[in-house]
Amino acid sequence: MRKILNVFKEENIVTGYLYFYIHFVVEVICFLVLARLVGDSPLLWFMPLFYDALAFCSQGVIGYVSDRFPNLKVGIIGLVLLIVGFLLFGFNLVSSYISVMLVGLGNAFIHVDGAEVTLHSSKGKLAHSAIFVSGGSFGVITGKLIGSSSISFILITLLGLSTIPFILLADTYREDRSCLEFNCVKKDYKVSIVIILAMIIVAVRSYMGYGIPTSWNKTVYQAIILYVFMGLGKALGGILADAYGIKKVAILSSLLALPFLLIGDNIMVVSLIGVLFFSMTMAITLSMLVSVLKHSPGLAFGLTTIGLFLGSVPVFFFRISNFFVNGAVIVILSMICLVIFKKILKDGV
């Protein structure tokens, strides 16, 4: 327990908290737009795919540009795009696709800035970026919920603008931007192989995230609890990895998630424990990529988001409805991730 508490005393951990709030607000705005656009229309499923592609895939390019031009204020550029896109949507001035494009790109810029700030200030620790990433889950569910309410656009715009001091303050924590101290991958493997395998893990986890059997999730309250546990899992992954070691957390969380996810289809508490374990590997895959791309954390982060997009694409077109087939797919994919973690991660990290 003391080890876990010590994580909260790590140097510059405040960057994680700052970007937790920024990430939360950004996702609230993005998912409010999506919720209002899509509503219950089954024919508008293309809009979330459009948004995901822009927000996730562009992070690879933005990340590399941000790595090469460190003085570029990526966070502020992202906020401007986000607010402009949101206002255009709110006042119905342009096609909704243009609004979604601006909002998605704004989201991508801010994500890259969050990754750069938290990775550069963390001195090889994971908690910073894990806390930053976890804010998104809370923002997604909040955005979805208030999207169906009649909350004022001006109020949401002010909420978006409230992130400016947080972005500027977080920027002051950037340390020397030359090279990062992450080192959790064995040197026996080629860098290209590590990149491909880490992206496979991210894609597999992304696909599985949509396939998790949650028949119990029927009310708004249960949906909120589900997203809260996802967010907690993401943050805990980084915190526990710093306290007890990356490899231990990666393997144990992958193994422990399986039975809870499969048995918990109809039992909320059991399923939530599974979701908590399942979400823990997010920060670990990021640290694998940053360990090999030490000069380009922005690009490394962008590769994880491309993996997320690639994993989610099949879900837009078809879903496995048979519980047993779905369960078998989850078990096989989890085993693939487990083997990759075991082979690639260094012992004792």
Partner 1 sequence: MNVIKFVFYPQFIKSVIVPFIFLVIFLLIVFIMVYSFVKIELSRIEEERGVEYEEK
- The answer to whether residue 210 forms part of the interface with partner 1 (CB under 8 A) is no
User: Which residue number, 38 or 141, has a Cβ lying nearer to partner 1?
Assistant: 38
User: Which residue number, 1 or 43, has a Cβ lying nearer to partner 1?
Assistant: 43
| Token duo for residue 303 | 């590769």
User: Which residue number, 69 or 318, has a Cβ lying nearer to partner 1?
Assistant: 318
Part of the chain binding partner 1 (CB under 8 A), chosen from 47-55, 135-143, 150-158, 324-332:
47-55
Contact call for residues 133 and 234 (beta carbons, < 8 A)? yes
- The answer to whether residue 57 forms part of the interface with partner 1 (CB under 8 A) is yes
* Contact positions with partner 1 (CB under 8 A) in 274-293: 292-293
Shortest gap between Cβ of 299 and partner 1 (angstroms)?
6
- The answer to whether residue 28 forms part of the interface with partner 1 (CB under 8 A) is no
Q: Which of 85, 143, 302, 307 binds partner 1 (CB under 8 A)?
A: 302
User: Which residue number, 28 or 62, has a Cβ lying nearer to partner 1?
Assistant: 62
* Contact positions with partner 1 (CB under 8 A) in 187-206: 191-192, 195
| Token duo for residue 196 | 């491909």
Contact call for residues 75 and 171 (beta carbons, < 8 A)? yes
CA distance 210 to 330: 11
Q: Which of 40, 318, 322, 348 binds partner 1 (CB under 8 A)?
A: 318
* Nearest in space to 168 (alpha carbons), one of 117, 94, 120, 123: 117
Is the C-alpha dihedral spanning 336, 342, 345, 349 positive or negative? positive
- The answer to whether residue 348 forms part of the interface with partner 1 (CB under 8 A) is no
Q: Which of 163, 281, 296, 326 binds partner 1 (CB under 8 A)?
A: 296
Q: Which of 69, 221, 317, 324 binds partner 1 (CB under 8 A)?
A: 317
Shortest gap between Cβ of 182 and partner 1 (angstroms)?
14
User: Which residue number, 251 or 290, has a Cβ lying nearer to partner 1?
Assistant: 290
User: Which residue number, 272 or 344, has a Cβ lying nearer to partner 1?
Assistant: 344
- The answer to whether residue 251 forms part of the interface with partner 1 (CB under 8 A) is no
* Contact positions with partner 1 (CB under 8 A) in 112-131: none
Part of the chain binding partner 1 (CB under 8 A), chosen from 23-31, 278-286, 301-309, 335-343:
301-309
Shortest gap between Cβ of 25 and partner 1 (angstroms)?
26
Shortest gap between Cβ of 158 and partner 1 (angstroms)?
30
Query: Which residues form the interface with partner 1 (CB under 8 A)?
Result: 42-43, 45-46, 49-50, 53-54, 57-58, 60-61, 64, 97, 191-192, 195, 292-293, 295-296, 299, 302-303, 306, 316-318
